Structure 1
Amino acid sequence: MKYIFLVLFLWALTRCTGKYEDKRVETDTSRPKAEASDIKVPEGMAYIPAGQYMMGGKSDQAYKDEYPRHNVKVSAFYMDLTEVTNAEFKRFVDETGYVTIAEKDIDWEELKSQVPQGTPKPPDSVLQAGSLVFKQTDEPVSLQDYSQWWEWTIGANWRNPEGPGSTIEDRMDHPVVHVSFEDVQAYADWAGKRLPTEAEWEWAAMGGQNDVKYPWGNESVEQASDKANFWQGNFPHQNYALDGFERTAPVRSFPANGYGLYDMAGNVWEWCQDKYDVNAYESYKQKGLTEDPTGSEHYNDPREPYTPKHVIRGGSFLCNDSYCSGYRVSRRMSSSRDSGFNHTGFRCVKDVNG
């Protein structure tokens, strides 16, 4: 089993980076409110006004790849009010016949390009269709050993979030999970939308507030169990579920931010269009003001150099201050583009003039 994890984690598991010194930069940026009275906003979306802000680490919890802080300007756009739900994704699948990555057997010829040369092929039984499912531990474990709480589960997919025997029949208003970057791109194309850039995502997450730490403001997470779906307790073995949910929650279960967006913190991580580059912010900083950045042209993660990754944002029901603090608006994480997890979903955006 350990061998299986060593191979599959190179393919599918998101990694954390080390903490970094806080280098907060004060800014006098003015945050416009969403004034869309003369704009016909698409159903189920919010109007996000154009604006300029300092992007990047906003607290002493910030990680190295959240620096340096840099000046970004984004154009107005529309954003889905909620994460894409199981019901919405089912409509897409019913109309198109689409089959997600997690529902297909793993192609070893494709996978071996993402692992060190010479890695032996796993047994065919391991390469069956499946995905990674969170498994709560019975006791404290090292937070550096992700195999302690992620379990490769044959038969886990968006229809069966915890594997065979589980169902979404009573979760149609929950965010869809176990969707890869390829899957969410296909949905966005079908819906006539696109994925947000991480610059758009961070701007929208602040909801019209200036330089705040969380989508709800600066109130500490200890006082914010009614603000978002995240892990309360000692991760990954003790979950007090003070927010009322041990796993995903129905969308709109918690208050929206200033732009009317729900779950910009917690519930599930959300895919962004940007390729993950640990040094992306360095290049932005050198430009002074960056307008509508769309991310690096290259994948760059020295921790997993063989694995193409994209940025994910917003945190999930698993996020905790002792682990990843993913609910912070500036927190960057990444996931391999062909990965599926039961804590990762997405929402879409649309250009105002598109």
Structure 2
Amino acid sequence: MTDQTVTRIQVGGTAGHDPYEVLVGRQLLGELPALVGPKAKRVAVLHPEALEGTGEALRQDLADQGYEAVAIQVPNAEEAKTVEVAAYCWKALGQTGFTRTDVIIGVGGGATTDLAGFVAATWLRGVRWIAVPTTVLAMVDAAVGGKTGINTAEGKNLVGAFHPPAGVLCDLAALDSLGVHDYVSGMAEIIKAGFIADPAILDLVESDPEGARTPSGPHTAELIERSIRVKAEVVSNDLKESGLREILNYGHTLAHAIEKNERYKWRHGAAVSVGMVFAAELGRLAGRLDDATADRHRSVLESVGLPLTYRGDQWPKLLETMKVDKKSRGDLLRFIVLDGLAKPTVLEGPDPAVLLAAYGEVSA
């Protein structure tokens, strides 16, 4: 991919919300003023502590374009997703005189873009925002689809709003400095997209697992673009998770329980990897999924260095956590499983013995 190549993927326009574009390429910051638009007078650049330099450079760039630009620094990763940090951002916007035509830009990983979107959704009942994701996970998952939110002591993303961005800039150059564990963590969401919708992703990973572990791999841009297209198509048809969008939660029911159990010290992708192996076993044990596709989960995830197991003694705690998962309906546990490759479906209220047996397959 040359520096001049920009791929534009449209999201929305079919489910009653305004369409927006996800741009994928390199050196994309020149696209920002067009997204901010002529009506905005003020721009707030919300960034994590770790990206102070990036946030300041972006703020300066916007100031040079004539905007009143401020930078709002928030804690790194999941620590940013609290009501206290959101309140700090609201205070900063209030002190800046932020109006309904002004724009928030969230620069960083998924936690930062989740927070930025939530702050934008709640300030003056909704102002425009732009996502500038800097991790694989944020590019293919968090920044696309308009789900915004913060965590509470009771769980992840239990407080939030559907508030799609005005645009998303996925500058692949940001991935060059990403640590290998963070990069590989994002691969879990890419592999998920392969299993639920686009098997070509799995073929690309299997053709060069070592290359899939690094941003300099030959298929990086294609893997990211394909994953974004999967998500874009789903959320364009179901913004508010009334049906189809649930398939994006493949592997996530157990994953969120593991994350909570680990007090969010585990990377999201690592938890999703274990969650997908569990979902594959659940599908197999429920008579839905063939052995070859179930086994393929393990081989593909392991080939890029993602974990396949979790502590066996934690099952009772994980089960309790899953019962308050957002996908549950009343007391009925719901899981996304596969009827076959790229054939996701819902499994409601599975037999507790089947759940336990499936967990036995991922127990370390």
Which gives a bigger RCO, structure 1 or 2 (Cα 8 Å, sep 6+)? 1
Q: Which has the higher helix share?
A: 2
**Same structural fold, with TM-score higher than 0.5 when normalized by the shorter chain:** no
Normalising TM by the smaller chain, what interval? under 0.3
Q: TM-score, normalised by structure 2?
A: 0.24
